[in-house]
Structure 1
Amino acid sequence: MSCTSCGTETGGKPNGCKSNGGCSTGGCNRMNVHDWLTNLPLSDEDSMCRVIEVSFNHGSRKDFYRNSTVHLFEKGDLVTVEGVSGFDTGEVSLSGELVRLQLKKKGVEENNPEIKRILRRAGDRDLELMKQNKAREPQALTRARSIARQLKLEMKLAEVEFQADGRKATFFYTADGRVDFRELIKIYASEFKVKVEMKQIGARQEAAKVGGIGSCGRELCCSTWLTSFKSVTTIAARYQNLSINQTKLSGQCGRLKCCLNYELDTYLDALQGFPDNADILETAKGNALLIKKDIFRNLMWYILPDSNKQYPLSIVTVRKIKEMNAKGVKPEALETEELVSSKPKEVEPDFVDVVGQISLRSLEKNDKRRKFKQREQRDQQDRNRGNAKSAPRPPQQQNQPRPTIRKDRDKGKTN
């Protein structure tokens, strides 16, 4: 996923969105963050955090590095850090006091000696070498998949990431079980001439690396901001009264959507006000079974045996019936609540059935009438201009009566 309004220059910064090295949409730099403490004044420079968070491969991987140089790095700066038997080049994603909060969140000690160091600010030679090795990744991924297929290994390669100096390659793969890739590592090392590291990831991590658009119309949460993947079960869907449809509840990774857990706590808090052990209500017509709970209206829907009608009952009504059942009393009927919709009532327009009233003949008549009126209008305009086609009669002839033919009934003659 990439932002259509910006492009990456040789320096590695987008030139369109003007966000100083990080696109706000998350497409140019996944897992992008904003340093809210960047303008915080420091009282003591010696006590400032010397650890910097660096992202690699457009934000798909992040790590902490100690700034042992005299330079002050800000977000978006390209730096060269210590790698495996060489160096690697990444982008500063976070610096300053906010890094201490991230270290505490990740459970990493600030004075941990195992934290690698930042070597220098990335130069032209480092960037050119990184660009050459990154160009090898698509071809290496295709070749690595074909080799794994030839060895008949039950695994799927998701991504290949080369170190900036080209001395190490990390192969990310997904598998349902354990995979014996000892022979595979030997072939990869001889094929690509690099140090090979195999790292197994889950289906959600694979979807985060691939990226995409979810059914909500936004970028996938796992590829933009979500870092901790908690387990999601169908119980979360049942609490929210969602239909158990595996197709609609599954994400692009094939697992249940992570967003099912977002509002689960709110639903659980709302369900605490509903009575417990109210799945069955005893009535004179039989046992009413609970089919769903509506937390927005505080209603509980029941259905009677041998009937398809649903009865919405309020929480107060259900508690009264439970108290009656505890005393051995069964109500004759269920007092349902009147459902009032908050939506405005739509006014249906009045339609007229005109089937059979329009025919070709009626259309032809209307066409003729229209043409006749147009011709009359043209004639009237010509008369007003004095260009009438027929001249008027002389005035002496206008008052003279016209000759008539009269029949004499008695004589049978015509005068």
Structure 2
Amino acid sequence: MQDKTLEQTGEVSPVSLDSCSNLNTYNWLQDIPDTARSFDIVEVKFKNTRKGFYRNVHQLRLKKGDIVAVEASPGHDIGIVSLVGELVALQMKKYRVDPEDENMKKIYRRAKEADLQKWKEAIRLEHSTMIKARKIAADLNLDMKIGDVEYQGDKTKAIFYYIADERVDFRELIKVLAEEFRIRIEMRQIGVRQEAGRIGGIGPCGRELCCSTWIANFVSVTTGAARQQELSLNPQKLAGQCGKLKCCLNYELECYLDATRDFPDGSIVLETEEGPLYHQKTDVFSRMMWYSTEKESAGRQVCLSVDRVNEIIAMNRKGIPVKKIIEEVVNIGVAPGQTGNDLHNDDPERFSKNRKKKGGSRKRGKNRPNRKEKRNS
């Protein structure tokens, strides 16, 4: 899609400039005059999730969306200005980058027509280079997957992003790639979540993947987050497109932890005069807990409030007998007045083969003239 835009219009795809991406930063100081020149460091974004901070040594009047040529090692790279002014200082503080670093790379100039032409040619080479690199890695029997390739703006260097479960000796691979493509090779390992963020996609919620839009730092997600929220431990529903647990499982976890702070442990058995009660499920929002008289079955259940459960646990610890609390036992199964199917209100004989059909008989020979008789008439 990006290549097609470059070939047809000769311009940079607007997707790289204005899409919902975690590279985008809203500049809420843009309407204040002279804020762009108050800080001499500019934030520049490149392909997918790569960003960098560069010193504006020539005091160029830059704004968001400008294409610039920046210092690289070796040569130069082409990037798009994503943020200028005082907000860059906040971004550097967020990523713990020292603004006084003397080794910080600098901006050379605004990109010229020749720079843009070479940059577009480099972008067109990335997909074919990735396919060839995958074949070369397979021929060398390397247990790794090359997920993406990013060319430097001057076509002198390329970064190969790969995924591997174990340590991989790719020294021979680098030699073969350098001979094949005649460029400097840099291998950079990423995880499956970073790969999903670089590729992008649509999640089961119908929105763009969080890892490709706004998540910058990945936090580990465990099945405990799903248990805390009383979610079904179905791997197919809990896993994202990367194959790992969905990052969104952590979004409401703190709210659930705060709401269940005074909830008793579900492993505690309630002792009553009618016998023990075993925990089955918890409704966090209504603060109700369901207990059953049978440990392995949910045939007879009683619903208690969290406060009542805490009261019973306190009485058990003090040895105070708990009187009858199961006033209304819920039978799990077919409710009274219901049949075994969802259509119990309809006629139960509606599927009977012997049932007489309405609208008269449609059998051949009845109420239907013979074809020969019809022709003769």
Range into which the TM-score falls when normalised by the shorter chain: 0.7 to 0.9
- Picking from 67, 84, 89, the partner of 1:78 is 67
Identify the residue that residue 131 of structure 2 maps to in structure 1.
142
Cα distance, 1:148 vs. partner? Answer: 0.6
> Aligned residues, how many?
346
Identify the residue that residue 45 of structure 2 maps to in structure 1.
55
Identify the residue that residue 33 of structure 1 maps to in structure 2.
25
Deviation track 1:338-391 (CA, whole Å, cap 9, x = no partner) reads: 99xxxxxxxx9x8789874622369xxxxxxxxxxxxxxxxxxxxxxxxxxxxx
Cα distance, 1:208 vs. partner? Answer: 0.8
Aligned: 1:230 with 2:230: no
Conserved 8 A contact 2:292-2:302:
yes
Out of 353-362 and 282-291, give the one that drifted further.
353-362
Identify the residue that residue 106 of structure 1 maps to in structure 2.
95
Identify the residue that residue 83 of structure 2 maps to in structure 1.
94
Identify the residue that residue 175 of structure 1 maps to in structure 2.
164
Deviation track 1:233-261 (CA, whole Å, cap 9, x = no partner) reads: 00000000011111110011110000000
Deviation track 1:20-47 (CA, whole Å, cap 9, x = no partner) reads: x7324x2xx663222112113458x87x
- Picking from 290, 299, 303, the partner of 1:312 is 303
Cα distance, 1:326 vs. partner? Answer: 2.2
> Quick one: which amino acid aligns to residue 313 of structure 2?
K
The alignment partner of 2:118 has SS state of: helix
Structure 1: distance between partners of 2:325 and 2:229: 25
Cα distance, 1:335 vs. partner? Answer: 4.7
Change (3 A) 1:263 1:338: farther
Cα distance, 1:286 vs. partner? Answer: 2.7
Structure 1: distance between partners of 2:235 and 2:213: 24
Structure 2: distance between partners of 1:256 and 1:167: 38
Identify the residue that residue 17 of structure 2 maps to in structure 1.
22
Identify the residue that residue 404 of structure 1 maps to in structure 2.
none
Structure 1: distance between partners of 2:8 and 2:81: 16
> Quick one: which amino acid aligns to residue 182 of structure 2?
K
TM-score (norm 2): 0.83
Identify the residue that residue 270 of structure 2 maps to in structure 1.
281
> Quick one: which amino acid aligns to residue 194 of structure 1?
I
Conserved 8 A contact 1:299-1:315:
yes
Out of 226-235 and 306-315, give the one that drifted further.
306-315
Structure 1: distance between partners of 2:238 and 2:79: 36
Identify the residue that residue 291 of structure 1 maps to in structure 2.
280
Conserved 8 A contact 2:23-2:51:
no
Aligned: 1:195 with 2:190: no
TM-score (norm 1): 0.76
Matches within 5 A, 1:207-286: 207-275=196-264, 279-286=268-275
Conserved 8 A contact 1:313-1:335:
no
Which structure has more relative contact order (CA 8 Å, sep 6+)? It is: 2
Cα distance, 1:176 vs. partner? Answer: 0.3
The alignment partner of 2:149 has SS state of: strand
Q: Which has the larger radius of gyration?
A: 1
Structure 1: distance between partners of 2:7 and 2:172: 41
> Quick one: which amino acid aligns to residue 259 of structure 2?
A
The alignment partner of 1:22 has SS state of: helix
Identify the residue that residue 149 of structure 2 maps to in structure 1.
160
**Structure 1: runs of 5 or more not aligned:** 340-347, 363-415
Cα distance, 1:301 vs. partner? Answer: 1.6
The alignment partner of 2:18 has SS state of: coil
Structure 2: distance between partners of 1:172 and 1:151: 17
Q: Percent identity?
A: 45
Cα distance, 1:182 vs. partner? Answer: 0.9
Structure 1: distance between partners of 2:321 and 2:359: 66
> Quick one: which amino acid aligns to residue 25 of structure 2?
V
Tell me how large the CA RMSD over aligned residues is: 3.1
Identify the residue that residue 327 of structure 1 maps to in structure 2.
318
Structure 1: distance between partners of 2:327 and 2:89: 57
Change (3 A) 1:30 1:128: farther
Structure 2: distance between partners of 1:6 and 1:130: 10
Conserved 8 A contact 1:81-1:118:
yes
Deviation track 1:293-339 (CA, whole Å, cap 9, x = no partner) reads: 22100011212226522322101211221232123233343357999
Identify the residue that residue 372 of structure 1 maps to in structure 2.
none
